[in-house]
Amino acid sequence: MTDLTRLTAAELASSLASGEISSVEATRAHLDRIAAVDADIHAFLHVSDHALEVAADIDARRTAGEELPELAGVPLAIKDVLVTTDMPSTSGSRILEGFMSPYDATVVARSRAAGLVPLGKTNMDEFAMGSSTEHSAYGPTRNPWDLDRIPGGSGGGSAAAVAAFEAPLALGSDTGGSIRQPAHVTGTVGVKPTYGAVSRYGAIALASSLDQVGPVTRTVLDAGLLHDVIGGHDPHDSTSLAEDWPSFADAAREGARGDVLKGLRVGVIRELPDSGFQSGVSASFRAALARMEAQGAEIVEISAPHFEYGVAAYYLILPAEASSNLAKFDSVRFGLRVDVPGGTVEDVMAATREAGFGDEVKRRIILGTYALSAGYYDAYYGSAQKVRTLIQQDFDQAFAQVDVIATPTAPTTAFRLGEKIDDPLQMYLNDVATIPANLAGVPGISLPSGLSADDGLPVGIQFLAPARQDARLYRVGAALEALLLDEWGGPLLDRAPVLSASTGGRA
Ligand code: GLN
């Protein structure tokens, strides 16, 4: 029998619809896979103890003849930043250890309504601060391509779960690259939708003007299918767009069969290649562009002079917003409380935050409160907001000339665990190519462009489109994906050395 964990979500959905397999079988296969490999990978912080019951319920409804949504019965992993009523939600932090939410995040509620089967909650950098998942209070996740390397971050758990065939689909969140950069280093697909396209209700806030929830998958079509489930207007989120979105799965299908690359104007940013990109990453990027050009795409050099200030602006705006968002962890309302006998409420609060937050979170709270303080507001936060506007203008000018912008998703392939953990600046520089999209609110996708000739590790290509043009990313992404799959003779992940093709752990 085929190994069900190797099927894409679209393939699982059609086998479920035809009655060839049941959701219980699909779910059990993934739970077995988690049991076999997750001691090595550590993608999950919590595995659901009732996934099989949920699956059995879907099967019963299908057997009774109920018309079910397309993805009904397909398993899903959920980043721990998203609150769930039936599993703890910690956002990777000690301060929320064991926290049970009284409500589901909108994206979780919509996933349940679509019949997706939650498998568990995935590991992440604490409060989504990081690019390696090493800042999780619960220990790092490992990259399925090489267990000594990072799976990216902050959503390394979701990306690793999908790359290691522990889940066909996962939910992530992207504030500065946390969906796209993990996709890049694990050979998977990740989409950061237009700001406001997917509800943030129930996504534990990092920086509210930058955060977006999105899909983490192995194919562009699967990302479109999941985006169709979670997206759309939500009255619970005041920044949610009231927009009639097209089907992103249809856009992906159209891209895979159509001629979308012919005449497509692809912008390449003149200023980016100088920013210290690994040679194997640049080479893979150039090769992917050449493939697109051979299909009739036009590669246009564009200028985005302010992108290089994106990292600096982001690391003022994000800490400022985060310091305010994290003020609610005050020892009274949520999670951890460290008692101080005879102490004041301030003493309890201080002791709780001291014990409950890790170093990176403290660093950013201090930076953020400093940047927002009366004497420094204009010099730091105010200036960063001006840079944000300049970056938005760079995008406007670029999109007057091109349909999409392409970049390598991140400067290097997966680095080694421990390599950058003591050097925050090096960690922050990972986000140089992903941050501008969050600052401007535009959508971005990362999909595998190949393996780096330097080290044999996966490389991602990122496409960016104007706000609200998410469908264009699915069309273009699926078109390139189809070309590359043809060239490779199958998915890149089939070549991941650590993963054996059968259900076992290490090869
Ligand atoms: N690496 C970035 C950071 O540390 C991105 C985080 C994110 O997107 N959540 O802030």
pLDDT, tens digit (0-9, with 9 covering 90-100), for 365-409:
999 999 999 888 889 999 999 999 999 999 999 999 999 999 999
* Chain segment 300-313, per-residue pLDDT in tens: 999 999 998 999 99
Extents of the domains making up the chain: 4-306+389-495
* Chain segment 112-135, per-residue pLDDT in tens: 999 999 999 999 999 999 999 999
* Chain segment 158-177, per-residue pLDDT in tens: 999 999 999 999 999 999 99
Q: Is 121 considered catalytic here? A: no
Which protein residues touch ligand 1 with a CB less than 6 Å away?
Answer: 128-131, 154, 174-178, 206, 318, 431
Q: Say if residue 507's pLDDT is above 70.
A: no
The region of weakest confidence among 241-255, 289-303, 493-507 is 493-507
**What confidence category does residue 106 fall into, taking pLDDT thresholds of 50, 70 and 90?**
very high
Q: Say if residue 262's pLDDT is above 70.
A: yes
Q: Say if residue 273's pLDDT is above 90.
A: no
Catalytic residue among 101, 111, 131, 154: 154
Q: Say if residue 363's pLDDT is above 70.
A: yes
* Three-state secondary-structure class, residue 45: strand
Q: Which residue, 127, 135, 137, 111, is CA-closest to 45?
A: 137
The region of weakest confidence among 368-372, 476-480, 500-504 is 500-504
- Residue 436 Cα to ligand 1 midpoint, Å, equals 12
* Chain segment 420-456, per-residue pLDDT in tens: 999 999 999 999 999 999 999 999 999 999 999 999 9
- 140-156 mean pLDDT: 98
Q: Which residue, 432, 180, 175, is CA-closest to 309?
A: 432
Q: Is 154 considered catalytic here? A: yes
Average pLDDT, the chain: 96
- 136-144 mean pLDDT: 98
- 460-473 mean pLDDT: 98
Starting at the edge strand found earlier in the chain, the sheet holding 404-408 runs 44-47, 117-122, 75-79, 169-174, 212-217, 189-192, 444-451, 458-464, 404-408, 265-269, 298-302
Counting ligand 1 atoms within 8 A of each CB, the residue from 134, 321, 431, 432 with the most, and so the one to mutate, is: 431
Q: Is 362 considered catalytic here? A: no
More confident residue, 495 or 90: 90
Question: What's the pLDDT at 258?
Answer: 81
- Residue 65 Cα to ligand 1 midpoint, Å, equals 44
Counting ligand 1 atoms within 8 A of each CB, the residue from 129, 158, 208, 421 with the most, and so the one to mutate, is: 129
- Residue 421 Cα to ligand 1 midpoint, Å, equals 14
Question: What's the pLDDT at 495?
Answer: 87
Domain 4-306+389-495 has CATH 3.90.1300.10: yes
- Residue 394 Cα to ligand 1 midpoint, Å, equals 22
Q: Pick the residue whose CA is nearest to atom 5 on ligand 1.
A: 176
**What confidence category does residue 272 fall into, taking pLDDT thresholds of 50, 70 and 90?**
confident
Q: Above pLDDT 90, what percent of the chain?
A: 93
What is the phi/psi pair of residue 327, to 5°?
Answer: -65, -20
- 138-145 mean pLDDT: 98
Question: What's the pLDDT at 12?
Answer: 98
Question: What's the pLDDT at 503?
Answer: 42
Q: Say if residue 205's pLDDT is above 70.
A: yes
Query: Of ligand 1's atoms, which has the minimum distance to the CA of residue 318?
Result: 10
Question: What's the pLDDT at 191?
Answer: 99
Give DSSP secondary structure letters for 402-448.
-SEEEEESSSSSPPBTTSSTT-HHHHHHTTTTTHHHHHHT--EEEEE
Question: What's the pLDDT at 1?
Answer: 61
* Chain segment 21-74, per-residue pLDDT in tens: 999 999 999 999 999 999 999 999 999 999 999 999 999 999 999 999 999 999
Q: Above pLDDT 70, what percent of the chain?
A: 97
Question: What's the pLDDT at 73?
Answer: 98
Catalytic residue among 15, 22, 48, 79: 79
CB 223 within 8 A of CB 190: yes
CB 280 within 8 A of CB 453: yes
